[in-house]
Structure 1
């Protein structure tokens, strides 16, 4: 089953406070995109296989969050959604 990152796909904004000051982090993009010049073009699951995190088995997307106040970046682990989670209540009613 395919999983989708809600932030990468524009369903929700990144909503994570800075661990140092509590200000909202800005989304600086997927961590995998910073691995090298061709990394944004790699298959996501391929990038997850050798990054050292459990994001592949936990169905998470790792983003880089940037705090404009503290000038620090943090890794943010976002739970990916399944296509079933994207079905609206109106669509559910139509199938019942």
Structure 2
């Protein structure tokens, strides 16, 4: 069974409020893409095995959110959904 992130695939959006100031946070994308210059080009599951989260086992895509007002960063998991296909 294949799973995919509905946010990364443009199926829905996620909103988050800053725990420090309450302003809206911006989703900057997958956490793994921020590790270094070549992270976006590595195999997704390869990076997910070493990122410090149990996201691969639990079918969760970790996203980095940044507050548009105070700059605080937080990480939120987005539950992946089963992908349709033949």
| Alignment TM-score > 0.5, same fold | yes
Of the two, which has the highest radius of gyration? Answer: 1
Higher relative contact order (CA 8 A, sep 6+): 2
Instruction: Please tell me whether residue 77 in structure 1 is matched to residue 77 in structure 2.
Output: yes
Please list every run of 5 or more consecutive structure 2 residues that lacks an aligned counterpart in the other structure: none
> TM (normalized to structure 1)?
0.79
> Aligned equivalents of 1:69 and 1:37: distance in 2?
26
| Richer in helix (by share) | 1
Deviations, residues 32-63 of structure 1 (Å, cap 9, x unaligned) = 01112211011111111011111111111111
Moved over 3 A (4+): none
Q: CA RMSD in A?
A: 1.3
> Aligned equivalents of 2:79 and 2:23: distance in 1?
21
Q: Report how many aligned residue pairs link the two structures.
A: 84
> Aligned equivalents of 1:49 and 1:64: distance in 2?
17
- Residue 30 of structure 1: aligned partner: 30
| Richer in strand (by share) | 2
SS of aligned partner of 1:25: strand
